[in-house]
Every structure is written in structure tokens, then in C-alpha cells.
């Protein structure tokens, strides 16, 4: 009877101790949506792996780790470091592509506005319609259409130029 009670008590203690471990749920890291947050996570991971490599090398030099273990651990950490660097490169390429695409869209919008008879704001170079008095982007006062039309044409190629220009932007002719 005493043995059965001891076994039952040991099983109960084991269940109480093991319950948090068995039912432990994985808490996902908070997903960052900002580019800076993602960059911070990637660089922190890279630095942690590099620090682990430095510590492993130090422990090997001190003699805490055998040559066999050092080789295995070092290979694993180098693989993790390479994965971290690949992830960082991939993130940078994706951000660069997004930035280039946004820049190309902005350039195309400005070209389209200027080709429709618009003009560029002298302060921020945003496209503006001919009848606008103020820039919609920065609020700067735009010159009157009469002032904008005060341009002259190049005698060689006919491209308009501003009164202060010394050379034609189209053909390079001295004005």
C-alpha cells in the first residue's frame, strides 16, 4: 500500500511539474510592419550570430571546447550567419526595388503633367497646371502664365529656353 501511494504521489508531482512544459504554447514574435523594424530585427539577428561565433572561438582558445565540438558548432553557426546575411540582402533588394518603383512612378507622373502643357514648380519641381497660382505640393507661389510664356526659342533647333539660359538644352547652341 505504501509503494502504491508513493508511486501515485510521484506521478502527481511529475504531472504538476510537467504541465507548464507540455502545455507551453509558442508565443510568436510581434510582426513588425515597418521597414525600420524589420531592418532592426535582421541586423540584431546578424549581430547575435556574430557574437556567438566570437564567443565560441574564445571558448575554444581557452580550452572549454574540444576541437571536434568546435568544428561542428562553428559550421552550424556559420550556416546560420550565412542565412542571416542572405535574409538581410534579400530585404535590402526588396526595399530598393520598392523605392525604385515609387521613384519611377513619380518621374512618369511629372513627365505626363509637363507633356500635357503643365509646368514645374520652381521650388519643389512638382508638376502644376498652367492656370495654378500656387503649388499643390509645397504651397509656393507659381509665376503667372505670362511670365512662364516669356521664354524664347533656340535659333538652331527651336526648343524654348528661359531668359537666363546661356546654352540651349536641346542642341547646346550658345544663346
- Cα gap 77→49, rounded to integer Å: 7
Query: What percent of the chain is predicted at pLDDT more than 90?
Result: 26
Mean pLDDT (whole number) for 107-120: 72
Mean pLDDT value across the chain: 80
What pLDDT does 50 receive?
93
Run of H or E residues at 45? helix 35-62
- What pLDDT, in 10s, does the model give residues 70-96? 999 999 999 999 999 999 999 999 888
108: helix, coil or strand?
helix
Average pLDDT over every residue of 40-60: 92
pTM (two decimals): 0.44
Q: What is the number of other CB atoms lying within 10 angstroms of the CB of residue 121?
A: 20
Produce one character per residue of 5-23: b if its CB has 16 or more CB atoms within 10 Å, e if not: eeeeeeeeeeeeeeeeeee
- How far is residue 145 from each of residues 17, 130, 134, 136, 149, measured CA to CA in Å? 83, 6, 12, 16, 6
- Contact between 150 and 139 under an 8 Å Cβ cutoff? The reply is no
pLDDT band at 102; cut points 50, 70, 90: confident
Over the stretch 130-164, which tens digit does the pLDDT of each residue have? 777 888 888 888 887 654 445 577 888 878 877 77
Domain regions of the chain by residue span: 36-142, 143-175
Amino acid at each position: 500500500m505504501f509503494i502504491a501511494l508513493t508511486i501515485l504521489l510521484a506521478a502527481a508531482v511529475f504531472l504538476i511539474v510537467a504541465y507548464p512544459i507540455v502545455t507551453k504554447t509558442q508565443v510568436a514574435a510581434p510582426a513588425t510592419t515597418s521597414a525600420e523594424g524589420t531592418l532592426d530585427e535582421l541586423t540584431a539577428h546578424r549581430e547575435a550570430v556574430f557574437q556567438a561565433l566570437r564567443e565560441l572561438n574564445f571558448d575554444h582558445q581557452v580550452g572549454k571546447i574540444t576541437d571536434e565540438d568546435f568544428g561542428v558548432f562553428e559550421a552550424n553557426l556559420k550556416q546560420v550567419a550565412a542565412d542571416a546575411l542572405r535574409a538581410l540582402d534579400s530585404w535590402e533588394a526588396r526595399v530598393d526595388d520598392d523605392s525604385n518603383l515609387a521613384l519611377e512612378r513619380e518621374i512618369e507622373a511629372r513627365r505626363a503633367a509637363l507633356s500635357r502643357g503643365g509646368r514645374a514648380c520652381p521650388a519643389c519641381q512638382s508638376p502644376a497646371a498652367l492656370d495654378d497660382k500656387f503649388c499643390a505640393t509645397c504651397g509656393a507661389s507659381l509665376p503667372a502664365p505670362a511670365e512662364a510664356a516669356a521664354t524664347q526659342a533656340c535659333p538652331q533647333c527651336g526648343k524654348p529656353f528661359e531668359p537666363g539660359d546661356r546654352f540651349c538644352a536641346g542642341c547646346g547652341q550658345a544663346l
